[in-house]
Chains A and B, each alone.
Chain A
């Protein structure tokens, strides 16, 4: 049957002679599985689905703070749709139960779904008596929009708007995967939309340092196939370096204005990604005058002070927590590192399903487990 053939091609097991290519980005994982691109890979290639879903890798302390803040009556918590479903383990619950922002909303918390961060600014303008918290997630693609919010907030002196920042940086994560060498990665597809912001310099340095082919890829099936074929040719020739298969969008210098916005508002920090552990330079934090908007400062008072306590664990080397509810079962760490298939997880499609995810990769449709469930799973 076609499906088992596809899995064999995907699996690392019997494919020792195959080249392992990782698409880092969850959006690309989604396209690949939805269009079955893994069923028509260039000969001798196997795919590994990487950790590129910001929803999936958001550190638990941030999620715990978001939950605790949403419980405060004066708070309006807003975030993106996929973020609202992430299960957060209830601290010290013997039955390992979890909660998410949508269930909090059902219980009366003021949780709002937004599709653009500027909507948070609008909410803060409309509800001057309430405290609006923007749970800001995403890679370098999304971070400029958050930076814009921070700058507009300052210009408007909107002191009731607060940022809970969980932005992560993609190249440090790619470097960390290559440096560990736990999984054999022969080539990488770099996420095109991140590169449209940051340009190719950082990616180029990575490719040289680890002597790997890196191809910048778009998100349509055609664009991804071109990128896969390009990496296959590079692998055959033993080339390394960066090739850009998404020229219509990615300029080698990226977007200097967006970079300037990022540099103005954020600074890189070490951050423990959920499922991957501490990544040097793997996150972004508000800096300088913009740190005023950080919930850690702006809400460190009254009833919200206790809510932000979990954030103290951030950036701490020990906070490599990958624990999801049913932690004993969830193999998210291995899945995100390409060391096993979602279907190898004992909870997959049983205790863990999109309607009650045990681990982060089952939450967003970009998550490797959810995409696998949607488009591959036989019941």
Chain B
């Protein structure tokens, strides 16, 4: 169940097609995206559930959503 892969955030942006940013901070989080590098493979993922994620962070990604930060083992 739940194939999830750790990768590193290489860029942060706002989702394509997102409506004009509202004043509401939560609304902003809903559309926050990152380009994540998985050992040479890059994919656009949503950061909606990880408002604390920053450039360079390792995140665990499942079906295009970053689920949590991955601590160094």
CB interface residues, B 38-68, toward A, < 8 Å: 46, 48-51, 60, 62-65, 67-68
Is B25 an interface residue when CB atoms closer than 8 A count as contact? no
CB-based contact B51/A257 at 8 Å: yes
Chain A residue, CB-CB nearest to B71: A248
CB-based contact A257/B49 at 8 Å: yes
Taking CB atoms, residues of chain B closer than 8 Å to A54 are: 1
User: SS class of chain B's interface: helix, strand, loop or mixed?
Assistant: loop
- CA–CA, A108 to B30, complex, Å? 36
Chain B interface, number of residues (Cβ within 8 angstroms): 27
Chain A interface, number of residues (Cβ within 8 angstroms): 42
Is A107 an interface residue when CB atoms closer than 8 A count as contact? no
Which one, A25, A142, A194, A250, contacts B63 given CB within 8 A? A142
Is B10 an interface residue when CB atoms closer than 8 A count as contact? no
A-B contacts counted at CB < 8 A amount to 101
27 A-B contacts (beta carbon < 8 Å): A27-B3, A52-B1, A116-B63, A116-B65, A117-B63, A118-B64, A122-B17, A138-B1, A142-B2, A144-B48, A144-B65, A145-B62, A145-B64, A148-B49, A148-B65, A151-B30, A155-B27, A191-B1, A193-B1, A193-B4, A197-B67, A248-B70, A249-B70, A255-B67, A257-B48, A261-B49, A366-B1
CB-based contact B2/A258 at 8 Å: no
Which residues of B line the A interface, CB within 8 A? 1-4, 6, 17, 19, 27, 29-31, 46, 48-51, 60, 62-65, 67-68, 70-73
A144 to chain B, nearest CB (A): 6
CB-based contact A26/B1 at 8 Å: yes
CB interface residues, A 240-274, toward B, < 8 Å: 247-251, 255, 257-258, 261
- CA–CA, A248 to B69, complex, Å? 8
CB-based contact A255/B1 at 8 Å: no
Taking CB atoms, residues of chain A closer than 8 Å to B65 are: 116, 144-145, 148
CB-based contact B2/A141 at 8 Å: yes
CB-based contact A25/B48 at 8 Å: no
B52 to chain A, nearest CB (A): 9
CB-based contact A148/B71 at 8 Å: no
Is A201 an interface residue when CB atoms closer than 8 A count as contact? no
